[in-house]
Amino acid sequence: EKARIGVTGLAVMGRNLARNLARHGHPVAVHNRTSARTKALVEQFGDEGTFLPADTPEEFVASLERPRRLVVMVKAGAPTDAVIEEFAPLLEPGDMIVDGGNAHFADTRRREAALRERGLHFVGAGISGGEEGALHGPSIMPGGSAESYEALGPLLEDISAKVDGDPCCAHVGPDGAGHFVKMVHNGIEYSDMQLIAESYDLLRHAAGLAPAEIAEVFRTWNTGRLESYLIEITAEVLAHTDAATGKPFVDVVLDQAEQKGTGRWTVQTALDLGVPVGGIAEAVFARSVSGHAVLREASRHLPGPTRAKVAGSSFADAVEKALYASKIVAYAQGFHEIQAGSAEYGWNIDAGSMAAIWRGGCIIRAGFLDRIRAAYAADPHTPTLLTDAHFAEAVGDAQDAWREVVATAARIGVPAPGLSTALAYYDSLRADRLPAALTQGQRDYFGAHTYRRTDREGTFHTLWGGDRTEVDA
């Protein structure tokens, strides 16, 4: 018997993905550089399905039916290149290598082009949902050729999460499209987490609620329009008490957030594409600020506001509105980046289908994503989700409360970079005139960078150092 698919790299993610495949009745070849992991997998979970363990790459490749589907689940970066170099010479035209790791989409584009020249398909597949998702059904974002998706898609759809019977897996687009979308997914995740953290901070310091009380607030929110995995786990974390000290768990954890890099990539890429993703950037920077222990220690004595806390009983409702409106902005910015990437690289990504496959399996799964899917169904080319009828109405209803929450944060000196930047973005888009006109004037003054006019075509320059007449540039 041959295996329908193979997984090499059997750390947490690869092991669970292989088990998921086996549990769905797909005979799966398994291989790991260090064969002890392969043995352990078969010993512990061999009864879950058909595993074909292989000690060597040659054995592994020989055990796969054709076209060969070879999933690589190793550490992103150099290890992925090493594994590709090891296996590619053993494969035949039409076979495919699937990289399920968190690769940078530019690496995926490079690898896809190189393997295409050798007649092989390379599928960069974003996989979200962590260890549990890999086992019970992740959200899968495969890129690569349409032909490779024909051979691979049904298998991936089979093991993905399901929402209303629909698989949380769809072909994203050519070469790096899958990893690009996974990257932006993670950026949105950063933003969503930061907004939730700021909401907690404000409930705590402006409304004076204790962590356990805030957990209850989040539990209530989780029954409404904010219903999501992240809100659900936030309530769990806030309700948790540290066994050693009896204090709220959140009070004994060092307040320095770490990051692995996908949020940073999302922002770096957005800068290259010229897409404003302030919500994601502030989320990345907020983690960065938190980690600067020396800087924070040196700044602790700086003066804060003299006014004490002010929030009344309706404050939690206001925060709910601010959070919802800011969340809409976060997703609007992320989807803008997806649309821009798609245009830049010719991927033709169906944004609505990305929202659909994020509804289950992944970290940002939420009922909310159905709204985004519907928004793109109504207008696939909408320049921003904010103008969709549902979202525009929601933000319109929320905006007074949103402003109040941001103002309260500023007044009492609690940092709310995510909520604030989201509001600034909203007001920037809404503005009839932006001070960018003045910026253009300054640029023309000091650098003769020229400007355009509102009232006629052309490019102009004012002779600032002379008689200030305007000339055609």
Q: What backbone phi and psi angles, to 5 degrees, belong to 98? A: -110, 120
| Shortest distance (Å) from residue 359 CB to ligand NBP | 18
The residue range among 6-14, 278-286, 356-364, 412-420 that interacts with ligand NBP, by the rule CB under 6 A, is 6-14
Residue 130 or 276: the one with the smaller Cβ distance to ligand NBP is 130
Residue 79 makes contact with ligand NBP by CB under 6 A:
yes
Residue 13 or 401: the one with the smaller Cβ distance to ligand NBP is 13
Among 12, 252, 407, 436, binds ligand NBP (CB under 6 A): 12
The residue range among 60-68, 77-85, 247-255, 346-354 that interacts with ligand NBP, by the rule CB under 6 A, is 77-85
The residue range among 127-135, 281-289, 302-310, 318-326 that interacts with ligand NBP, by the rule CB under 6 A, is 127-135
Among 5, 6, 7, 9, binds ligand NBP (CB under 6 A): 9
* 189 is an active site residue: yes
Residue 39 makes contact with ligand NBP by CB under 6 A:
no
Residue 33 makes contact with ligand NBP by CB under 6 A:
yes
| Shortest distance (Å) from residue 18 CB to ligand NBP | 11
Q: Is 33 annotated as a binding residue?
A: yes
| Shortest distance (Å) from residue 384 CB to ligand NBP | 29
Q: How far apart are CA 52 and CA 30, in angstroms?
A: 6
Catalytic residue among 112, 157, 182, 327: 182
Among 73, 203, 238, 364, binds ligand NBP (CB under 6 A): 73
Q: What backbone phi and psi angles, to 5 degrees, belong to 362? A: -100, 175
Site for ligand NBP in 228-257 (CB under 6 A): none
Measured at CB, which residue is nearest to ligand NBP? Answer: 101
Catalytic residue among 43, 117, 162, 189: 189
The residue range among 75-83, 276-284, 377-385, 435-443 that interacts with ligand NBP, by the rule CB under 6 A, is 75-83
Cα 283-137-173 angle, rounded to 5 deg: 70
Residue 13 or 29: the one with the smaller Cβ distance to ligand NBP is 13
CB 448, CB 465: distance < 8 Å:
no
| Shortest distance (Å) from residue 142 CB to ligand NBP | 14
| Shortest distance (Å) from residue 26 CB to ligand NBP | 19
* 321 is an active site residue: no
Give the type of residue at 86.
E
- 3-class secondary structure per residue, the chain: CCECEEEECCCHHHHHHHHHHHHCCCCEEEECCCHHHHHHHHHHHHHHCCEEECCCHHHHHHCECCCCEEEECCCCCHHHHHHHHHHHHHCCCCCEEEECCCCCHHHHHHHHHHHHHCCCEEEEEEEECHHHHHHHCCEEEEECCHHHHHHHHHHHHHHCCEECCEECECCCECCCHHHHHHHHHHHHHHHHHHHHHHHHHHHHHCCCCCHHHHHHHHHHHCCCCCCEHHHHHHHHHHHCECCCCCCEHHHHCCCCCCCCCHHHHHHHHHHHHCCCCHHHHHHHHHHHHHHCHHHHHHHCCCCCCCCCCCCCCCHHHHHHHHHHHHHHHHHHHHHHHHHHHHHHHCCCCCHHHHHHHCCCCCCCCECHHHHHHHHHHHCCCCCCHHHCHHHHHHHHHHHHHHHHHHHHHHHHCCCCHHHHHHHHHHHHHHCCCCCHHHHHHHHHHHHCCCECCCCCCCCEEECCCCCCCEEEC
Among 37, 116, 225, 449, binds ligand NBP (CB under 6 A): 37
Residue 13 or 197: the one with the smaller Cβ distance to ligand NBP is 13
The residue range among 126-134, 143-151, 321-329, 434-442 that interacts with ligand NBP, by the rule CB under 6 A, is 126-134
Residue 16 or 421: the one with the smaller Cβ distance to ligand NBP is 16
Tokens of 220: 């209530």
The residue range among 26-34, 171-179, 214-222, 246-254 that interacts with ligand NBP, by the rule CB under 6 A, is 26-34
Residue 127 makes contact with ligand NBP by CB under 6 A:
yes
Given the DSSP bridges, would you call strands 121-128 and 166-167 parallel, antiparallel or unpaired? Answer: unpaired
Residues 6+ apart with CB under 8 A from 267: 187, 277, 280, 281, 284
Residue 98 or 394: the one with the smaller Cβ distance to ligand NBP is 98
Q: Which residues are annotated as a binding site?
A: 9-14, 32-34, 74-76, 102, 128-130, 185-186, 190, 260, 287, 443, 449
Residues carrying an active site annotation = 182, 189
Which residues contribute to the site for ligand NBP (CB under 6 A)? 9-14, 32-34, 37, 73-76, 79, 82-83, 101-102, 127, 130-131
Q: Which residues are annotated as a binding site for substrate?
A: 102, 128-130, 185-186, 190, 260, 287, 443, 449
Q: Which residues are annotated as a binding site for NADP(+)?
A: 9-14, 32-34, 74-76, 102
